[in-house]
Chains A and B, each alone.
Chain A
Amino acid sequence: MKSKFARYLLQKFIWYLVAFFLAVSLNFFLPRLIPGNPVKVLVSQMATGGVQSDALARIYDNYMREFGLDQPMHIQFLRYFANLFRGDLGTSFMLYPGKVSNLIREALPWTVALQIPTILIGWIIGNVLGAACAYKGGRFDAIAFTSALAVSNIPYYCLAIILLYALAVHNPVFPVGGGYSFGSYPELSLSFLLDALHHYTLPFVSMIVVAIGGQAIGMREMALYELTTDYVHYSKALGLSDKKVIRYVFRNAMLPQITGLAISFGTMMGGALVTETVFSYPGIGSLLFTAIRQTDYPLIQGCTLIITVAVLLANFLVDIAYGFIDPRIRAAQLGER
């Protein structure tokens, strides 16, 4: 049994490695498909900004070396990989000579602090709500299910924009954006934490409502299916208390929902990035937004890479947890592949 589990883990790990390699390759190749030499474009942009010509030449040489654009493609690729493993993501265009890795390091904690609690808490509440819908049925189900459908299928940022306008602009209860007040500096003090929490509320609420809705729909469907199974009828016929039956149903319907958790890390990403830009939250989403506006290729690549790594890692962790929780599904997965 133990070796089987190890094999399952190894298999999963290899698949994730393949996915990672593919994502990094896309990250490398796609921006290079843009016709023309991005470095030349960049330098000509800087020239109109009135930078000295010898400084321009230096910047040009620096980027040519960094991108290795004078080298053949496969050497560029290998070099890109080598730099990646040293944690070197290149130099930003717009904040030259700022390092991409530093910019990302500053933004990442904000995104993590926003996303992980949203997904986990949304997942838990959503599952309970979905199970309740399936079990209670009737009016409760009709209202809760329809509203879950509504909130989970309108794009995240729709709710974000409406909340921002209603609760920060029209009725200024919450700040209009940012991660903390202008003039304060990130530090470990109570006043800063309270201030950060105040800024955190709206993005958090706008995202968690959507997450709850999505998970509730999935759970409701699973629980509805479980409720029609033989073991439920049998337990009921035996006279088991409702509470006990619900507990069985909940546990069985829960398993596929763990996969749902993994999926939400990937699918929530796009919406979460835009939500950040709506609130000017100082995370990866806002960074990416600025990078795209300034056509800062190294920074865009850095952002997409970190997003990919985060999602793959989250998926892998969920897969491991899944293997631990349910030996039956572990076996089924082994058989499937």
Chain B
Amino acid sequence: MGEVLVLVLRSRRFMIGAVLFLAVLCFGVIGPQLTDRNPFQMAGGLFNPPSEKNILGTDNLGRDVFTQLMYGTGTSLLIGFVAGVVATGIGVTIGAVAGFKGGFVDELLMGITNVLITIPAIVVLILLSIAIKSRSATVMGVIIGITSWPWTARAVRAQTSSLKTREHVDLARISGYTTIELIVKEILPYMFSYIFMAFILQFSAGITNEATLSMLGLGPYQTVSLGVMLHWALLWEAVRTGAWWAFLPPVLFLAVASFSLMLINAGLDEVFNPRLRKS
């Protein structure tokens, strides 16, 4: 474990990613605690350019963009995190059970997974979001999570079915472990690094998916997120009127949030797959 930690800390990709991500995280989580401004409060005229009073200017309704950016970053990260947890949870459960049980259960679960992979997730997301009227940030994270697990399930299944033929699994089975015990104690720990990386990917995809949905107008209800900010910017033509302060900050934060998670993932990949580590 210590060895792995050293390798992780030595990976430049991982370190850059981690620092960037922590910066965004602090901004979105601690920022809102330090301000007494409300992201929905009027703080100036329409599309006021950045000034001393409003560091990043105001939006289409005269609300302070910097305050929105702090709250929005927090919301987007929350949605991405919930989506990541839900998607990884479902994916690992289904993948591990299918891979371990084999036979009919495997065929059935993988059949469902493959069908869900072919249906474009964005369509299911749009339909679900329309059906659920008042979506809080958490609900939205769950919705995104339950539409994006199939890839994880497929990969976990492949790993499980190769891991289950190992001797220590047989030994545990002889000692009377139940199926659940076998999966949890003898299989999952061996792909912990893999599961963690899958979670990072799902986290990143969750942030992106939130932005996509919100920009189409299906964002969280009465909450500001990075995607919601961009939706307003599009709707009120901030780009075409040149109000760069209303759309560049959320674009930048979205990009940095998802890119930093990808860097973390790429760094971990190098550590756990020595094949990719080139001298």
Contacts and interface: CB of A to CB of B under 8 A. Distances in A.
B216 A312 contact: no
Contacts of B124: 26
A225 interface: yes
A57 B13 CA distance: 64
Interface in A1-24: 15-16, 18-19, 22-23
A266 B275 contact: no
14 contacts: A26-B119, A26-B127, A27-B123, A31-B127, A150-B259, A158-B255, A164-B240, A169-B240, A169-B242, A270-B209, A277-B216, A292-B126, A308-B120, A312-B118
A18, A158, A225, A337, most chain B CB atoms within 10 A? A158
A23 B123 contact: yes
Nearest to A150: B259
Interface string A204-239: 000000000000000001001100100000000000
A177 interface: yes
B18 interface: no
A90 to B, nearest CB: 15
A123 interface: no
A132 interface: no
Interface of B: 13, 107, 111, 114-115, 117-128, 130-133, 204, 208-209, 211-212, 215-218, 230, 233-235, 239-240, 242, 244, 247-248, 251, 254-255, 258-259, 261-263, 266, 275-276, 278
Contacts of B230: 157, 161
B130 A300 contact: yes
Contacts, number: 145
Contacts of A149: 259, 262-263, 266
Given A153-B204, A165-B239, A271-B212, A34 B118 contact: no
Q: Contact residue range for chain A?
A: 35 or more
A274 B131 contact: no
Secondary structure dominating the interface of B: helix
Contact of A269 (B120, B233, B262): B120
A144 interface: no
A158 B252 CA distance: 8
Nearest to B233: A161
A33 interface: yes
Nearest to B218: A292
Interface in A235-271: 266-267, 269-271
Contact of B126 (A155, A165, A304, A315): A304
Nearest to A288: B216
B157 to A, nearest CB: 11
A269 B130 CA distance: 18
B131 A158 contact: no
A161 B239 contact: yes
A274 B123 contact: no
A155 B211 contact: yes
A19 B115 contact: yes
Output the residue of A15, A297, A304, A315 with the most chain B CB within 10 A: A304
A315 B239 contact: no
Which among A162, A288, A293 has the highest number of chain B CB atoms within 10 Å?
A: A162
B251 A158 contact: yes
Contact of A224 (B130, B215, B254, B276): B276
B193 to A, nearest CB: 17
A234 to B, nearest CB: 18
Contacts of A293: 217, 235
A304 B133 contact: no
A278 interface: yes
Contacts of B209: 270
A34 B133 contact: yes
Contact of A274 (B13, B215, B240, B247): B215
Contacts of B208: 155, 271
- Closest 10 A/B residue pairs (Cβ): A270-B122, A154-B255, A30-B127, A30-B131, A33-B131, A153-B262, A292-B217, A266-B120, A270-B212, A19-B118
A50 interface: no
Given A30-B128, A154-B258, A165 B247 contact: yes
A146 to B, nearest CB: 8
Contacts of B262: 149, 153
B131 A224 contact: no
Contact of A34 (B120, B130, B216, B258): B130
A270 B121 contact: yes
A307 interface: yes
Contacts of B127: 26-27, 30-31, 304
A292 B263 CA distance: 35
A15 B120 contact: no
Contact of A19 (B119, B121, B212, B244): B119
A86 interface: no
B251 A162 contact: yes
A308 B117 CA distance: 12
A298 to B, nearest CB: 12
B240 A18 contact: no
Contacts of A155: 208, 211-212, 254-255, 258
A224 B211 CA distance: 33
B115 to A, nearest CB: 5
A35 interface: yes
Nearest to A23: B119
A149 B260 CA distance: 10
Contact of A157 (B121, B132, B215, B248): B215
A154 B114 contact: no
Given A30-B127, A153-B258, A269-B120, A18 B239 contact: no
A176 interface: yes
